[in-house]
Amino acid sequence: MLRQKAKPIDKFTDELRQVIARMFEVMDVEEGIGLAAPQVGISLRLFILDVPENAKRGSLATSIPPSASPGRMVFINPVLRFEGPVEPMDEGCLSLPEITGEVLRPPIVHVTALDEFGKPFTLTAGGLLSRCIQHETDHLDGVLIIDKMTQPSRVKNRIAVKKLEND
């Protein structure tokens, strides 16, 4: 599931909102700040974020999803556009808990997505918020941090990466 492209969502039902609520529960238990549906075995183009407010202050967030509660955001069928040269930053992943490494990503992302009620929104973000949006969208496309890590980070994590590649 983690290596497959997730399916777009076209129905915004109570069942979908229940899936989202369960995803927030899982993310909270795991103490994460982002979780994509494929990480919990669901092939849907959906991810959730709960980026700390202090991390958002340094970002360029220009709007938030209409139904977002403080810190919690839902992104459905996101489309991203990037701005700026790639920059390194360490990343981890709930799906690969034993692996952390430097990943290169553009600093600014422009997102168009839908919320859990099917309402469209746009957002421009920098900082940790931008990085989280890009990381979780990668999951929707079957891409993992090990695919984007710098070579020194791949070497540092070579045993764990090798084990994953052989599974």
What amino acid is encoded at 138 in this protein? D
Going by C-alpha positions, the residue among 108, 61, 102 that lies closest to residue 84 is 108
What amino acid is encoded at 50 in this protein? D
Tokens linked to 148: 């984007």
Residue 1, SS3 per DSSP? coil
Going by C-alpha positions, the residue among 152, 155, 138, 162 that lies closest to residue 45 is 138
Q: Quote the CA–CA distance of 141 and 35 in Å, as a whole number.
A: 14
> Residue with structure tokens 């695919």?
147
What amino acid is encoded at 71 in this protein? G
Instruction: Locate the DSSP E strands across 55-159.
Output: 72-83, 87-92, 100-105, 108-114, 120-125
Of 25, 116, 136, 165, the catalytic one is 136
Is 102 among the catalytic positions? no
Q: Which residues are catalytic?
A: 136
